[in-house]
Amino acid sequence: MSRLVAGVRSLGHKRWFARAGRILVPVDRALGILSKGRFVAFGVRDLPSMLITTIGRKSGQHRTNPLLYARDGDGFVVIGSNWGQEHHPAWALNLVANPVATVTLGGKAIPVRATLAEGAERERLLALLMSLWPAYATYAKRAGGRELRVFRLAAI
C-alpha cells in the first residue's frame, strides 16, 4: 500500500474528512462520469473505486455515485456508509427498491443485481470492506444506531 493511501485511510476517521468528503462527492462524481469510471476516488491508486448507477426510487431517473468497492470472487461489495450520517444514502435506498444497477469500472459498464447481505454473509463481506477502508468502523459508530447496509453486486 502506498504512503498516500495509508495517509488517506487514516484521515478517513476524522470528522472533518467526512464533512469534506460529502462536499467533494459531486466533484468526484463529475470526474468519474467524464472519465467513464477511469478516474474515481480522485485518482488515488490502490483504492478500488467505481461508479454505480441506480434507478431513483421516486423519480425513476438514473442516479450515479462514486463508491469504493471490494472484490468478492466475480462480484463487488459496497457499503451504504453515507460518511456516518444517520440516514441511508439515496443510492442504497434505490437498490433496495430496485436491485438492478450498472457499475462502471475503467470505462466498462457492467449491469449488476444487488443483494442486501445479512447475517454471517454480511459479516464476511463487511470484513472485506473494512480491510479496504477501516474508517467504515468509525462511520458505523457515528451513524446513530443505523446499520450500514452492505450489498453484493453480481453481474447479470
106 in Cβ contact with 49 (< 8 Å): no
Tens of pLDDT, residues 87-146: 999 999 999 999 999 999 888 999 999 999 999 999 999 999 999 999 999 999 999 999
Number of domains making up the chain: 1
Tens of pLDDT, residues 2-58: 776 777 777 777 787 777 777 777 777 677 777 766 665 555 667 888 999 999 999
Report how far residue 109's alpha carbon sits from residue 36's, in angstroms, rounded to the nearest whole number.
9
Report pLDDT for 2.
73
Report pLDDT for 15.
80
**Pairing outcome for strands 75-80 and 100-105:** unpaired
Report pLDDT for 43.
55
Report how far residue 149's alpha carbon sits from residue 151's, in angstroms, rounded to the nearest whole number.
7
Name the residue with higher pLDDT: 70 or 41: 70
Report pLDDT for 49.
86
Report pLDDT for 45.
62
Report how far residue 43's alpha carbon sits from residue 126's, in angstroms, rounded to the nearest whole number.
24
CATH number of domain containing 52: 2.30.110.10
Residue 78 lies in domain: 3-155
Record the pTM. Answer: 0.86
Count of residues making up the chain: 156
Report how far residue 46's alpha carbon sits from residue 132's, in angstroms, rounded to the nearest whole number.
9
How far is CA 45 from each of CA 5, 56, 136, 148, rounded to the nearest angstrom?
7, 30, 19, 25
